[in-house]
A = this chain, B = another copy of it.
Amino acid sequence: RDVPGQEVTDDGEALKGLFANEPVRDPALVVRSEFPCNAETPITALDQQTTPNPKFFVRNHLPVPDIKSGAYRLTVDGPSGSLSLSLPDLKEKFEKVSVAVTLQCAGNRRKEMHEVKPVNGLQWEQGAIGTAVWSGVRLRDVLKEMGYAPSEEIKHVQFHGAEGYGASIPIDKAVSATGDVILAYEMNGEDLPVDHGAPLRVVVPGHVAARSVKWVDRISLSDEESESHWQRKDYKGFSPSKNNVSEEDYEKATSIQELPVQSAIVSPAKNEVVDASSSVVPVTGYAVSGGGRGIVRVDVSGDGGRTWTDATLHRPNQSPSASWAWTIWEARVPVPKKGDKMEIVCKAIDESYNSQPEGMQGIWNVRGVLVNAWHKVAIKIHRKETDE
C-alpha cells in the first residue's frame, strides 16, 4: 500500500496513523493516490447532470481531519469584528440557499499533457471534475453578520481547513451579489460527506476547486492572499518554456482562480469498437467554463478535427453569466466510409467566445495544470471484409 515515506524510511506505520480518519470509499472511484486520497469520478458518471456523492472525485491534500461534530466552530475574523459559529448557529441564523456547481481540479486531464511531455503531479484523466447541488449559507451573509465593510485593506478572503490546507479568493468574488459563494453543509440533499469537507466546505462557483476549502474552520480578511503553500507555491500557470519553476517565478505568477473553457468526451471510451454498419456514433460529454460563463456551442468531430457536428446542449437551468454547473452534451457523429479507426474530438465555446486550444504545445506547463486542449478519443471500426 502506498503510504508516504514507507519505501525510503521505517516510518510507514507511524505515518499510517495520520490517516486514521479516512472514510470508507466507493470502490468505483478511480484511485490515483491512497494517502492522501486522490481519486477520480468513474467515467460512466461523468455525463450525468449531477454526480452522485459516493462517486464524486476526491482530491485531498492531507489526511482527513478528526472533527468532533459537537465541538466544531467556524471562526470568522475581520478588522471590524469576529464571530464564532457552531453548525447549528449557521443553520439557524442564516438563510439556506442551494446552488448547482461544477468543481474541477486544476490538474484535471493532466495525464494527456504528461503523455506529450512529462509533468509533475497526479495522473488525472478526465474525471477530476464533478457537479453537485450544494446547500448552505451565503458567505456574504456571514461576512455581513461579522460587520464586514469595504475597505482598501481588504482584498482577499482567506480560508483555513482543519486538516491544514489553506487558500483565498478575491474579496469582490466573496461579497458579490451574483458570485454565489456559499459555505455548504449539504451536497445533493444529504449531509456533506467527510471526504467533501464535513461539516462545512466553502464552494466557490466558477473558480478552480482548490479554492473551495474543505473542513473550513477559519475565515479571515486580508490585504494579502493566503500564505498557504497551495496559494503561493502551487496552482499557478507557467510558460511552456519553463522546465523548472523558481521561487521568483511563483511569486510573479497569478494564482489560478476562474478556470478557462473546458470540455471532454465521456462516451465512447478509448478503443471502443463500433460496427461499420452504424452510420453514426453517439457521443456524450461535458463542457464547462470559469466565471459562470455559459457554454454556447460544443463542436464534435469524427475525423480528428477536419469537420464538425454541433452537439445538442443540456444547459443548466442557470443564467448565461451564472452558469456554474456544466453542460452535458450529446452528438451523433458520422462513421467514416473507410478505414478501421476514427478519432473523436470535442471542443467547447463559452459565452465570451473563448475556445480551447488544439493541442498541448502552447499550454504545456511543468505543473500540468489547466489542461484544456481539444479532447481526443480514438475508437475502432469493425468492418466485414465485404464492406472494404
Interface residues of A (CB under 8 A from B): 170, 172, 178, 237, 239-241, 253-254, 256-261, 290-291, 293, 296-297, 299, 305, 307-310, 319-321, 347, 349, 351-359, 361-363, 370, 374
A254 lies within 8 A of B356 (CB): no
Residue of B nearest to A241 (CB): B308
Q: Closest chain B residue to A296 by CB distance?
A: B254
Whole-angstrom distance between the alpha carbons of A351 and B347 in the complex?
Answer: 21
A308, B353: Cα distance in complex, Å: 25
How many copies of the shown chain assemble into the complex?
2
| Inter-chain contact A239/B355, CB cutoff 8 Å | no
- In the assembled complex, the Cα of A68 lies from the Cα of B309 at a distance in Å of 51
Instruction: Kindly list 10 other residue pairs between chains A and B, CB separation below 8 angstroms, not including A240-B308, A241-B299, A355-B363.
Output: A172-B319, A239-B310, A254-B297, A258-B351, A259-B353, A291-B291, A299-B362, A355-B357, A358-B361, A362-B374
Contacting residues, chain B, for A241 (C-beta < 8 A): 299, 307-309
Cβ contact within 8 Å between B172 and A353: no
Instruction: List the 9 closest pairs (A to B, CB-CB), nearest first.
Output: A258-B352, A254-B296, A260-B354, A241-B308, A354-B354, A290-B352, A260-B353, A239-B308, A353-B370
Residues in chain B near residue A305, CB distance under 8 A: 361-362
Inter-chain contacts of A357 with B (CB < 8 A): 355-358
Q: Are A353 and B237 neighbours in the complex by a CB distance under 8 Å?
A: yes
A340 to chain B, nearest CB (A): 24
B260–A355 CB distance below 8 A: yes
A-B residue pairs in contact (CB < 8 Å), sample of 20: A170-B321, A172-B319, A237-B297, A239-B308, A239-B310, A240-B299, A241-B308, A241-B309, A254-B351, A256-B353, A258-B351, A259-B353, A260-B352, A260-B354, A305-B361, A353-B370, A355-B363, A356-B357, A356-B362, A357-B358
Q: Compute how far the CA of A309 lies from the CA of B178 in the bound complex, rounded to whole angstroms.
A: 38
Bound-state Cα–Cα, A296 to B249, Å: 13
Docked complex Cα distance between A260 and B305 (Å): 21
List the B side residues contacting A362 at CB < 8 Å: 299, 305, 347, 355-356, 358, 374
Complex: how many Å from CA A353 to CA B260? 5
